[in-house]
Amino acid sequence: MNIDITARNFTPSHHLKTFITTKLSSLSKYDSNIKSSKVVLLKEGTC
């Protein structure tokens, strides 16, 4: 599965990217037709 992770207003850690990839990879057991996913992370409340 192709996973595109985009972060706005911060740089995600390697641990966060790995966590997201692991969780989204498990979606294939529910639907084998999932070919890609896109994740957009936003950091809110920056002053």
| pLDDT tens per residue across span 3-18 | 999 999 999 999 999 9
Average pLDDT rounded to a whole number, residues 16-28: 95
Give me the pLDDT at residue 47, please: 58
Give me the pLDDT at residue 45, please: 81
The model carries a pTM of 0.81
Q: How far is 29 from 9, CA to CA, in rounded Å?
A: 33
Q: How far is CA 37 from CA 1, 14, 30, in A?
A: 8, 18, 14
